A = this chain, B = another copy of it.
Amino acid sequence: MRPSKRANDELRAVSLERGVSLHAEGSCLVKFGNTHVLCMASLEERVPPFLKNSGKGWVTAEYGMLPRATGDRMRREASSGKQSGRTQEIQRLIGRSMRAVVDLEALGERQITIDCDVIQADGGTRTAGITGAFVALNDCLAWMEGRGMVTRSKVLKDHIAAISCGIYKGEPVLDLDYLEDSAADTDANFVMTGRGGIVEIQGTAEKEPFSEAELASLLALAKGGIGTLVELQRQAIA
C-alpha cells in the first residue's frame, strides 16, 4: 500500500494553470499533488555565442527551489554563491527535453529561457517542471505567433512530458511522492513525447541493482502516466 493510498499506476492530482505571470510571455503553475512548480517562459532577442548568425534559435531552462520549499530549510543558492550539482543536472535536463520537440530553425535567431522555480516540493519536481515548462513554452510561442514572429505549429513538433517511476516496497509504482522517493529501491525518470517516443530515461538503483524486467515494468507505467499528462496538456492549452 502506498503512503498516499494511490493505486500503483495512479498519478497524483495534476493541474496546469496558465497565465499566472503578469510579465512572462508564457507561464504555467504546475501541481503534481503537493509539488508546485512555477514555469515562466521569457523571450529574448539574442542567442548564445555558438549560434550567432546561424539563423537558429535556442531554448534553455533554469531551475531553482525556494529555500523552504522542502521539509527542512535549505541554503539559498544565491547566498552560497553557486548552484548545486543537482540543480545543474535538472536544468540541463529540462532544457534538453524542451529542445527535443522544438525546431530551432523555425524559431529563428532568438532565445526562450524557461525558469522552473519550485514553490513547494514533495518529490518529482523535475518531472512536474518539464510537464509545466511545455505549457509555458507553448504559450510563449502563441504570444509570438500573435505578433507574426513564428508559426507555432512549425516550431513545436510534439508534446513533451515527464514522470517518475520506482520500485517501492518491491512493486513498481508511478509518480513517486517524497515519502516513496526516499524509500524506493530504484528511481527512474522518463521524458517522452506525445507520440510516445523516448527523449530521456534516467534510472538509478538507490539500493539494489534492478533487472531488465523491472526496467520494462517501469517503462510501461511511465508510458501510461505520460499519456495522461499529455492529454491534460492538450486540455490546458486548448
Q: Which residues of B contact A42 (CB under 8 A)?
A: 67-68, 73
A163 to chain B, nearest CB (A): 15
Q: Evaluate whether A66 and B78 lie within 8 angstroms (CB atoms) in the complex, with A85-B88, A88-B85, A203-B200 already known.
A: no
Interchain CB contact under 8 A, B85 and A73? no
Contact A68 B115 (CB under 8 A): yes
**Contacting residues, chain B, for A198 (C-beta < 8 A):** 203, 205, 209-212, 215
Q: Is A38 an interface residue (CB 8 A)?
A: yes
Interface-lining segment among A17-25, A50-58, A123-131 = A17-25
> Contact residue range for chain A?
35 or more
* A73 close to B205 (CB less than 8 A): no
Measured between beta carbons, the chain B residues less than 8 angstroms from A87 are 78
Complex Cα distance, B22 from A236, in Å, reads 26
The yes or no answer to A166 lying at the interface (CB within 8 A) is no
Given contacts A22-B122, A199-B209, 19 further A-B contacts (CB under 8 A): A21-B68, A22-B120, A23-B68, A23-B70, A42-B67, A42-B73, A62-B79, A64-B66, A66-B115, A76-B115, A85-B89, A85-B92, A100-B205, A100-B209, A198-B215, A199-B205, A200-B204, A201-B202, A215-B219
Residues on A facing B (Cβ under 8 Å): 21-24, 27, 34, 38, 40, 42, 44, 62, 64, 66-71, 73, 76-79, 81-89, 91-92, 96, 100, 113, 115, 117, 119-120, 122, 188, 192-193, 195, 197-205, 208-212, 215, 219
